[in-house]
Structure 1
Amino acid sequence: MNDNYEKNRRILLVDDEYDIVSLVRIVLKNTGFLVDAYTDPILALSNFKVGLYDLLLLDIRMPEMNGLDLYQNMKQIDSNAKVCFLTASELFYEEYRRMEVHPWLDKAYFIQKPFRTEELIAQIKAIIFS
């Protein structure tokens, strides 16, 4: 993809693991994306604004607020926000879909941890530019 096209794209990254936030932020910035990164989902939510982000990249399991609840709160602010969840569980998507706890999961994307940076970038580009 064209770097100039990516430079105008902003991603919100929220993960309670500082090492993951640091690594992913560097990788995304080096690819040309603008990145706002948080380890605190409550702080991320308080700074969230309509139309500011092309993608929300959210960890699912966080102590203060899980990624699903964070996204539901953000979706009330910006109903068009695209989301990609980071998860260490292979079965997470199928489990929640089967339980129909969150029917909007059909429109969500998932990246399984651990991930290779090349796969992360490819998935993010596919989501943003779709």
Structure 2
Amino acid sequence: MSKTVLITDDQFGIRRLLTEVIESRGINVLQASDGLEALEKLKNNAVDLMLLDMKMPNMDGLDTLKALKERNIDVDVIFMTAYGEEKLTVDAKGLGSNSHIFKPFDLEDVIEIVENHLFNKK
């Protein structure tokens, strides 16, 4: 069965780049520009993994994590944040995120993290 990743980031260029790279590995991708849109996508789609940006308008990453927990939405989350925002990694871990990626990121590292999470999870 094919896996699906939801990329949630307010920057179109990042969503497009990650989509191209992840889809090239045979993984389905959905996109959302903020947490509110991500929650809507999660209502109607089975998602195995969410790449979630921390800083977005409307609903940021931490608020999105809180909403996932409140609504009992079970999806694994790897959040993306800029270097220098290490405190957010601690806050996000406390809300149930599985891992993090610092921006700017290396695409090979992102693919390795995504594939390891989707296919090598114990």
Greater Cα offset, 70-79 or 107-116: 70-79
Compute the TM-score of the two structures, normalised by the length of structure 1: 0.79
Indicate conservation of the 8 Å contact 1:16/1:62, yes or no: yes
Equivalent pairs, count: 120
Which residue type is aligned with residue 65 of structure 1? Answer: M
Q: Which runs of 4+ in 1 moved over 4 A?
A: none
Instruction: State percent identity of aligned pairs.
Output: 29
Q: Which runs of 5+ in 2 are unaligned?
A: none
- 1:51-98 superposed Cα distances (whole Å, 9 cap, x missing partner): 711101100011211111112212334443110001113442x5663x
Compute the TM-score of the two structures, normalised by the length of structure 2: 0.83
Q: Which runs of 5+ in 1 are unaligned?
A: none
CA RMSD of aligned residues (A): 2.4
Relative to structure 1, the CA distance from residue 112 to residue 79 in structure 2 (aligned partners, 3 Å threshold; closer, same or farther) is same
Indicate conservation of the 8 Å contact 2:5/2:49, yes or no: yes
Q: Indicate the structure (1 or 2) with the bigger Cα radius of gyration.
A: 1
CA distance in structure 1 between the partners assigned to 2:40 and 2:31 by the alignment: 13
Indicate conservation of the 8 Å contact 1:11/1:34, yes or no: yes
- 2:108 equivalent in structure 1: 118
Indicate conservation of the 8 Å contact 2:62/2:92, yes or no: no
